[in-house]
Amino acid sequence: MPKNLIVITKLFPYNFTEAFLESETPFLQEKFKNIIFMPLLKGSIRPNFSSLSVDDSYNILYAKKARMFIRTLHSFDLYKSLFFHRRTLFKKKMLIACIKQQIHVQIIKRIIKNNPSNFTEDTIVYSYWFNAPVYAFLKIRKKYRMKYRVVCRAHRWDVYDEDGDMPYRRYCIEHIDKIFPISQDACDFLTKKYGYKDKYILSRLGVQKQNVTTKESPPFNFQVLTVSQLIQRKRVDLVLSALTEFASKNKDVNVRWTHFGTGDMEKDLKMKASSIDIPNMRTTFMGYVPNVEIMQFMEESKVDVFINLSTSEGVPVSIMEAQSYGIPVIATNVGGTGEIIDKDNGILLSPCPTLEDVVSALEKVYQSDFNRDIIKNHWNKLSNAQINFKHFVDILSNIQ
Over residues 158-168, mean pLDDT: 79
The alpha carbon of residue 139 and the mean position of all alpha carbons in its chain are separated, in whole angstroms, by: 26
Over residues 235-254, mean pLDDT: 98
Q: What is the pLDDT of residue 70?
A: 72
Q: What percent of the chain has pLDDT over 70?
A: 95
377-400 pLDDT per residue, tens: 999 999 999 999 999 999 999 998
In angstroms, the CA 236 to CA 34 distance is: 43
Do 207 and 324 form a contact (C-beta atoms < 8 A)?
A: yes
Give the 3-state secondary structure of residue 233: helix
Do 383 and 400 form a contact (C-beta atoms < 8 A)?
A: no
174-208 pLDDT per residue, tens: 999 999 999 999 999 999 999 999 999 999 999 99
In angstroms, the CA 26 to CA 35 distance is: 11
Over residues 337-364, mean pLDDT: 97
Lowest mean pLDDT among 62-71, 223-232, 246-255, 351-360: 62-71
- Which residue in 152, 165, 159, 209 sits closest to 184, CA to CA? 159
User: Model confidence at 43, in pLDDT bands (50, 70, 90)?
Assistant: very high
User: Model confidence at 265, in pLDDT bands (50, 70, 90)?
Assistant: very high
Q: What is the pLDDT of residue 90?
A: 66
Is a pLDDT exceeding 80 seen at residue 255? Answer: yes
Q: How far is CA 42 from CA 52, 54, 57, 96, 377, in A?
A: 15, 11, 10, 22, 39
Identify the bridge partners of residue 35 per DSSP, sorted by sequence position: 5
Is a pLDDT exceeding 90 seen at residue 344? Answer: yes
79-121 pLDDT per residue, tens: 677 676 667 766 667 777 778 888 899 999 999 999 999 999 9
Helices (H) and strands (E) in the chain, counts: 16, 11
Q: What is the pLDDT of residue 64?
A: 82
Element (H, E) at 9: strand 4-9
Q: What is the pLDDT of residue 162?
A: 73
User: Model confidence at 226, in pLDDT bands (50, 70, 90)?
Assistant: very high
Close Cβ partners of 343 (under 8 Å, ≥ 6 residues apart): none
Q: What is the pLDDT of residue 300?
A: 95
What strand order describes the sheet that includes 346-349? 281-285, 254-260, 221-227, 305-308, 329-332, 346-349
Q: What is the pLDDT of residue 89?
A: 65
Q: What is the pLDDT of residue 67?
A: 74
Q: What is the pLDDT of residue 206?
A: 95
280-331 pLDDT per residue, tens: 999 999 999 988 899 999 999 999 999 999 999 999 999 999 999 999 999 9
Q: What percent of the chain has pLDDT over 90?
A: 82
Give the orientation angle of helix 92-114 with respect to helix 132-143, to 10 degrees: 50
Average pLDDT, the chain: 93
Lowest mean pLDDT among 2-11, 14-23, 186-195, 310-319: 14-23
Over residues 134-153, mean pLDDT: 96
